[in-house]
């Protein structure tokens, strides 16, 4: 969960890496290979719908007046104690034979953007990545960010109401649709989770979502998520 300072909760500084210490290896490929799409899911404070369905883009006549979001919801506050739990459970449902321990890095796309900005020497908002090494797999979690909702409680946001107005509905009880891709980049096998706001109906097959059943006690995770199997996997656009 985002904190009041980028150093909140940290202890001894182990090592500091300067931008000048990073040297490019021009022999490595710069394009991802072996792209695949193992899962997707809709996530809410207490509900996980797998594979879920991305909302359809529904343009409206302009101009239009949007009210401010109330309350603003920071998706990072969902599952703060285990941010990748929903991803792993979705993988078990749609791609149960996928071996997670074969990956070198599992991360959210926002962390890759922060690293890319650092390498380009962009002076953007401070960003902290929290990491955990499990066997040979490095897990990147969303850490502190200066631009999080909780650091600016009085700043109005309009993104959620914009999505409600211009896209079809999400699964009941969820606030975002997440998709997961895997690929090989620079010799590393990577799994990346990212949020998708909507899909173009003309570019994607029709998505039919059956009525959602009421989850039983056996469908509740230790973190309090009700797991529901519903929706359709919408493939990546060619």
Q: What is the pLDDT, as a whole number, of residue 2?
A: 44
Triad 62, 64, 69: Cα angle to 5°: 140
pLDDT, the chain, mean: 82
Beta-carbon count within 10 A of 205 CB: 11
Tell whether 2 is covered by a domain: no
* Ranges of H-type helices in the chain: 85-94, 109-119, 159-166
Q: Please state whether the predicted TM-score (pTM) of the whole model is above 0.85.
A: no
Tell whether 10 is covered by a domain: no
Tell whether 29 is covered by a domain: no
Q: Dump pLDDT digits (tens) for 148-188.
A: 555 555 677 788 788 889 998 888 888 889 999 999 998 89
Q: What is the pLDDT, as a whole number, of residue 215?
A: 44
Tell whether 7 is covered by a domain: no
Under the banding of pLDDT at 50, 70 and 90, the label for residue 73 is: low
Tell whether 13 is covered by a domain: no
Q: Could you tell me which residues come within 8 angstroms of residue 170 by beta carbon, excluding any fewer than 6 positions away?
A: 42, 52, 55, 176, 177
Number of domains in the chain: 1
pLDDT mean over 32-38: 93
Higher pLDDT, 88 or 73: 88
Q: What is the pLDDT, as a whole number, of residue 221?
A: 86
Over 80: is that where the pLDDT of 117 sits?
Answer: yes
The alpha carbon of residue 195 and the mean position of all alpha carbons in its chain are separated, in whole angstroms, by 5
Look up the domain containing 142 and give its range. 37-231
Tell whether 165 is covered by a domain: yes
Tell whether 102 is covered by a domain: yes
């Amino acid at each position: 969960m985002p904190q009041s300072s980028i150093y909140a909760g940290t202890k001894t500084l182990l090592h500091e890496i300067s931008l000048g210490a990073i040297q490019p290896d021009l022999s490595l490929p710069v394009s991802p290979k072996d792209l695949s799409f193992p899962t997707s899911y809709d996530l809410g404070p207490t509900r996980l719908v797998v594979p879920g369905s991305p909302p359809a883009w529904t343009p409206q006549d302009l101009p239009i007046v949007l009210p401010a979001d109330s309350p603003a919801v920071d998706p990072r506050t969902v599952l703060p104690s285990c941010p990748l739990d929903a991803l792993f459970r979705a993988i078990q449902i749609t791609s149960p034979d996928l071996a997670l321990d074969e990956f070198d890095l599992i991360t959210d796309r926002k962390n890759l953007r922060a690293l890319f900005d650092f390498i380009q020497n962009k002076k953007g908002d401070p960003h902290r990545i929290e990491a955990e090494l499990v066997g040979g797999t490095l897990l990147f979690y969303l850490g502190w960010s200066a631009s999080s909702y909780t650091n600016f409680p009085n700043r109005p946001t309009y993104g959620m109401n914009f999505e409600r107005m211009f896209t079809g509905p999400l699964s009941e009880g969820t606030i975002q649709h997440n998709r997961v891709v895997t690929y090989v980049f620079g010799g590393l096998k990577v799994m990346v989770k990212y949020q998708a706001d909507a899909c173009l109906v003309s570019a994607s097959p029709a998505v039919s979502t059956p009525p959602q059943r009421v989850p039983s006690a056996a469908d509740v995770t230790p973190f309090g998520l009700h797991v529901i199997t519903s929706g359709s996997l919408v493939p990546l656009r060619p």
